[in-house]
Amino acid sequence: MHTRLNQAQPYALGLFRVVVGLLFACHGAASLFGVLGGAMGGGSIPAGTWPGWYAAVIQLVGGSLVVLGLGTRTAALISSGSMAYAYFKVHQPEALFPLQNGGEPSAVFCWVFLLLVFTGPGALALDRLFSRGGAESDGEDRAREQAPAVTV
């Protein structure tokens, strides 16, 4: 059972990356273009407005790069930082806990992207095309390294 789970780990991580990146990019698209319900219940954020417009650009570009698995760790680090900023500057002054201040999405995205910084993109990422090995992603190598060695 553990062997199969370890073999599937890079693909599960890749799927996780795609879903999270897509959700994040949708937030940016909603804020920038007023689609999918728009920003704050409708409309779009005026260009150049600090910090909302810049956050939306990071969401759209960072989320898209994460979906593609292109520059994943860098895009995830910038995205994580933007969500940490959003949480501490916008939400945390309202109340201490995310449940009280409406900062749950910011907190979750911050930690999810920080996880991707350390795990890498998993399988099916464009980063694979530009890596030295080319044939295997970081996640596949890591799954092999983490697989328990059984000696009898």
- Of all residues in the chain, the percent with pLDDT exceeding 70 is 86
Radius of gyration of the chain (CA): 18
Q: What is the mean pLDDT of residues 116-137?
A: 80
pLDDT at 130: 82
Q: Read off the amino acid at residue 64.
A: S
User: What is the C-alpha separation between 108 and 127, in angstroms, rounded?
Assistant: 24
Q: Please tell me the pTM assigned to this model.
A: 0.81
User: What is the C-alpha separation between 117 and 150, in angstroms, rounded?
Assistant: 30
Contact between residue 113 and residue 83 where contact means Cβ atoms under 8 Å apart: yes
Is residue 126 predicted with pLDDT exceeding 50? Answer: yes
User: What is the C-alpha separation between 110 and 134, in angstroms, rounded?
Assistant: 29
Contact between residue 17 and residue 122 where contact means Cβ atoms under 8 Å apart: yes
Is residue 93 predicted with pLDDT exceeding 80? Answer: yes
Helix axes 52-68, 2-33, angle to 10 degrees: 140
Higher pLDDT, 145 or 5: 5
User: Could you identify the residue written with the tokens 């890591």?
Assistant: 142
Is residue 1 predicted with pLDDT exceeding 90? Answer: no
Q: How far is CA 66 from CA 3, 109, 122, in A?
A: 27, 12, 11
